[in-house]
Structure formats: C-alpha cells, structure tokens
C-alpha cells in the first residue's frame, strides 16, 4: 500500500496496526496536508459486524467538532477495502504513555479534564462511547488528549447525534440483551451484566482509566474474564493512595466516586466530573503559589484544603498585618507627637500573634512581629526619656533661682551688728569706743546721702521672708559699699 494513491491521498508509510485496522500516513494531493488513512483489515472486509462498526466509527466521530476528539475528514473504499481519512496525530496512545508507571498529578488533571469535556460533548449529543480505555485515548506531543474509536458508540433514545446512526443488523447484534459490549477490564457493572446503558457507564470506565493513570496498574485484574467480571461486580479496586502516596485525597475521592457500583451514587454527568477535576486543579495551583511564595504572610499556608476550609482566617491575617504595619512607621519618629500613636501600636501588636497561632508559622510573619515589638519598645524608651528630661528640666529652674538668692541670705545675718551701732554706721571708724561722741558726730555728717541708706536698712531688718529680704537687701548692700 505504501507509495500508492488512494483516491486523492498518496500513502507515505505505515504508522500503526491493530485488530480494527491498519493506519498509514498519507498526503492529501488536493489540499497538500498530512493526514492518516485507517483501513479495515483485509480479513475483516467480509465481516458484516466489523464493517458496520468501522462505518459507525467514521459517522459518529464526524459528528463532533471538539479538540479532544479526533477529526474525521472522509470515508471511502479502495479495492474492496473500507478506509477512513482522519486527523494525523503526533504522539502515542495513553496506555503507552502510562507504561506501567503513574503519571504526574498535574498531567492526570490536565488530561482528565480534556477527556471529561470530550465525553460531555458526546453525551450532550446522545452518543455513548462504550469503549473508554487507555488504548482508545491518544496523547499528542503537546499533551492534548484525543478520544478515538467510536466503533462501539451508540445513539441513545432521543439523542441528537448523526442521522446516519440508524439501527442496523450489526447494531441490533451489539445491543441484544445479555450481550456485553466493550473491553472487559474497563466495563461498568451494568455493562458487564448486559443491561441497558446510559452516560454513567462511560463515567465508570473513565474512572477506571483515571485509576490506572494515578497508579500505573489496572484497577480490575484477573487471569480470566470471569475473575475480572467478579472484581468489577463485587470488589473495590485497591486504594489509589496505597499504591501512589502522592495522589491528593480529593483526586482519590473523585476516582472512588466514579467507581461506585451503584450508578445512582456515581457522577451523574461528565460535566460534574470535569468540574471536580477543575476545582482540584485550581486549588492545587493556588496552594502551590502560596507555599512557593516570596516569604510574605501565608494567606493560605499549607495546602489548598486550608485556603478553602479556612478562607476567612487568612483574609483576617492579611488585614491585621497590614494594620500593624501602619503604626510601625511612627515608631521610628522620636517627636513628642508619637506618644499618641503608642496605644494603637500596643493594641494592634497582639493581633498578628493570634493569627500566627492559627496559621502555620512563617519566617516573614516572625520577622514582622519582631520588628513591631522592637519598634514598640523603642517608642516606650523614647517616651520615658522625654518624660525624664522634661521633669529634670523643670526641677533645674528652682535650683538656679535658689542659688542666685543664696548670697543675700548672709546680709540678713549682718543686721544684728547694725542694730548695735545703728546710730553711727558712718562714724564707727573714728570714734568706735566713744559713746559720747554721738553729738559730735552730728556736725561730722554733712552728707545727707547716708540717711536714705540707713532708712532703707531698717526695712531689710524684718527679713523673715527670704525672697523679700534678698531683693531689698541687695540695693542696701550696694549703697553701703558705695558709701565706703
């Protein structure tokens, strides 16, 4: 087949083969684009059931226009063999992508959301895939999931799918009561029992795929088909976290809910399952942003469950720290106006400590508290120093006044000798021992100036109040000095 031209498609090389066909890489000679040609095996060309399934795959997939579903371009026949012209994908099937090892959690979430969205689109058109498994999911080199092989797809009653999906002989054989259709290890319980199916059957199969993506192992294993059926109907698969401890509890919950035996307890729509996966991805991203932050206040330290269960507390923490940071600026200012800011700072300081007790300790939070405490301490020291300086300054003034008034105090002690020789202070030097010389002193006192001093002296004698005596004594002493 390589090198030949099929219709207007030139076959370049074979890129894959399987039970349902052989896939070649080809080129559209009209549009000049690369695509894939899937041929029905030669030995299956005469098999009516295989032929109907092959055509159903083309008709069903052509109904969709979705990034997570492989696009169908054309369907035709060449030398008695049916072929489908479809989108050429660069990558590998999901089962090879898993390769017996669990995928990273972020990859599981990204691919899971894309697959769930593709199933939601198909179910909204009333189309059931009925064969969801890793081999039917392709992962491109750009990590884009593509759902393949709608060969077992079924249009539910009232569905809005392609009008070409009519009841055929093959379809009646596939949907006969009691006939299980699909891949055994990925069947739902109702599918294994041959019951009527709805969209919840695809969600169970999708849960089995998620389990394998998270653990690297099939959820239901057995050496025979009977053993696998028994596990699907009666047993729960091993806990995901027991095999892969890195799986978040929320992802394990989503997988367990999808694998409920009772379809009424399962996810009811693919949209619900996609929403839970999207919520988990959002919480993981926001939780990782907090933990890898730059050392600020951990608004939602811990994990993403903490950001949701106690979302109110972290908000209060941020507000408290911001309010505490405001008085920290006045702390560095020594002016007297800062004492008014001291009480708010002291009142705000304890609040961040309470928040730290609730949230996980952080280096940035401790440094903030140390800075605030140190600032408050410096403020209190500044206030105490200012008060001490103020009190010492007010006490220094009276000391200075008393020292200035101290010299006049000896002057009041001098009045006793003045009282003894009060009549003749001027003549005391010539006639000190002659008491009768008083009348002779009268003519020797021509200057009338001393009497004012003498008259001023008596007021100085009644000097019980030190202040008044000091003031009045000062001029009299000066007068005597000038007279002498």
Which DSSP string do the residues of 320-347 spell out, in sequence order?
HHHHHHHHHHHHT--STTGGGGHHHHHH
Enter the tokens of residue 179.
Answer: 């006939």
pLDDT at 389: 81
Tell me what the mean pLDDT of segment 355-373 comes to: 62
Residue 36 binned pLDDT confidence (cut-offs 50, 70, 90):
very high
Listed ranges 194-203, 296-305, 319-328, 353-362; the one with the highest mean pLDDT: 194-203
Residue where the block lists tokens 């920290």: 328
pLDDT winner (highest mean) among 27-31, 317-321, 454-458: 27-31
> What gap in Å lies between CA 70 and CA 149, rounded to an integer?
9
Confidence of residue 44 (pLDDT cuts 50, 70, 90): confident
β-bridge pairing 154-155 and 127-128: antiparallel
Helix 105-124 to helix 270-291 angle (10° resolution) is 150
CATH topology of domain 91-287: Transferase(Phosphotransferase); domain 1 (1.10.510)
Q: What is the arithmetic mean of pLDDT over 99-105?
A: 95
List helix spans (H) across 75-224: 94-98, 105-124, 169-174, 189-192, 199-215
Model confidence at 305: pLDDT above 80: no
Is 95 marked active-site? no
Q: What is the mean pLDDT of the chain?
A: 72
208, pLDDT greater than 50: yes
Q: What is the mean pLDDT of residues 257-262?
A: 96
DSSP 3-state of 23: strand
Sign of CA dihedral 253, 258, 262, 265: positive
Q: How far apart are CA 43 and CA 113, in angstroms?
A: 38
Which of 206-220, 300-314, 335-349 has the largest mean confidence?
Answer: 206-220
Model confidence at 428, in pLDDT bands (50, 70, 90)? very low
Percent of the chain with pLDDT over 70: 60
In whole angstroms, what is the distance from residue 283 CA to residue 278 CA? 9
Choice among 117, 131, 276, 283 that is catalytic: 131
Contact between 274 and 116 under an 8 Å Cβ cutoff? The reply is yes
Q: Do domains 5-86 and 91-287 have the same CATH topology?
A: no
Measured distance CA(151)–CA(171) in Å, rounded: 11
pTM higher than 0.85, yes or no?
Answer: no
Q: Where residue 276 falls among pLDDT bands split at 50, 70, 90?
A: very high
Is the pLDDT at 350 greater than 50? The verdict is no
Of 74-83, 103-112, 461-470, the poorest mean pLDDT is in 461-470
DSSP bridge pairs for 81? 78
Residues 6+ apart with CB under 8 A from 123: 199, 202, 269, 270
The topology (CATH level 3) of 5-86 is Phosphorylase Kinase; domain 1 (3.30.200)
Give the pLDDT band (50/70/90) at residue 409: low
Query: Picking from 138-152, 353-367, 467-481, which range would have the lowest pLDDT averaged per residue?
Result: 467-481
Q: Average pLDDT of 112-125?
A: 94
Residue 435 clears pLDDT 80, i.e. is over it: no
Which residue in the block uniquely carries the two structure tokens 């039917």?
A: 136
Domain boundaries, the chain: 5-86, 91-287, 304-385, 407-420+447-484
Exposed, middle or buried by CB within 10 Å (0-12, 13-18, 19+), for 214?
buried
Q: Are 230 and 185 in contact (CB under 8 A)?
A: no
Quick: pLDDT tens for 154-170: 887 655 554 444 444 34
């Amino acid at each position: 087949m390589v090198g030949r031209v099929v219709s207007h498609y030139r076959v370049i090389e074979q890129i894959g083969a399987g039970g349902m066909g052989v896939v070649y890489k080809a080129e559209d000679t009209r549009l000049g684009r690369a695509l894939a040609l899937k041929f029905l095996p030669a030995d299956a060309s005469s098999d009516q059931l295989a032929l109907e399934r092959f055509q159903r795959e083309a008709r069903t997939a052509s109904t969709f226009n979705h990034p997570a579903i492989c696009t169908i371009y054309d369907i035709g026949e060449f030398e008695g063999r049916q072929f489908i012209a479809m989108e050429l994908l660069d990558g590998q099937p999901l089962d090879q992508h898993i390769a017996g090892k669990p995928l990273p959690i972020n990859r599981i979430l990204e691919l899971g959301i894309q697959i769930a969205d593709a199933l939601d689109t198909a179910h909204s058109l009333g189309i059931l895939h009925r064969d969801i498994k890793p081999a039917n999911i392709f992962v491109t080199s750009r990590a884009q999931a593509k759902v393949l092989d709608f060969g077992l797809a079924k249009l539910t009653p009232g569905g809005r799918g392609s009008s070409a999906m009519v009841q055929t002989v093959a379809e009646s054989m596939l949907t006969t009561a009691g006939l299980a259709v699909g891949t055994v290890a990925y069947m739902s319980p109702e599918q294994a029992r041959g019951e009527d199916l709805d969209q919840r059957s695809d969600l169970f199969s999708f849960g089995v795929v998620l389990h394998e993506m998270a653990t690297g192992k099939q959820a239901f294993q057995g050496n025979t088909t009977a053993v696998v059926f028994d596990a699907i109907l009666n047993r729960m698969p091993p806990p995901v976290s027991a095999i892969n401890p890195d799986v978040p509890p929320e992802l394990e919950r989503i997988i367990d809910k999808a694998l409920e035996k009772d379809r009424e307890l399962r996810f009811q729509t693919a949209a619900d399952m996609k929403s839970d996966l999207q919520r988990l991805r959002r919480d993981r991203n926001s939780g990782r942003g907090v933990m890898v932050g730059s050392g600020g206040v951990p608004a939602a330290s811990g994990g993403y469950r903490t950001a949701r269960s106690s979302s109110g507390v972290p908000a209060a923490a941020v507000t408290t720290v911001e309010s505490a940071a405001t008085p920290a600026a006045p702390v560095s200012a020594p002016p007297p106006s800062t004492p008014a800011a001291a009480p708010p700072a002291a009142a705000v300081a304890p609040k961040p400590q309470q928040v730290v007790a609730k949230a996980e300790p952080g280096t940035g939070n401790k440094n903030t508290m140390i800075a605030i405490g140190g600032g408050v301490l410096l403020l209190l020291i500044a206030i105490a120093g200012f008060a001490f300086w103020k009190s010492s300054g007010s006490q220094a003034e009276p000391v200075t006044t008393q020292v200035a008034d101290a010299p006049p105090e000896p002057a009041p002690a001098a009045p006793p000798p003045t009282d003894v020789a009060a009549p003749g202070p001027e003549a005391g030097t010539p006639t000190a021992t002659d008491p009768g010389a008083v009348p002779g002193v009268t003519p020797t006192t021509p200057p009338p100036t001393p009497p004012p001093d003498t008259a001023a002296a008596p007021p100085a004698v009644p000097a019980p109040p030190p202040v008044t005596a000091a003031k009045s004594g000062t001029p009299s002493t000066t007068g005597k000095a000038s007279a002498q």
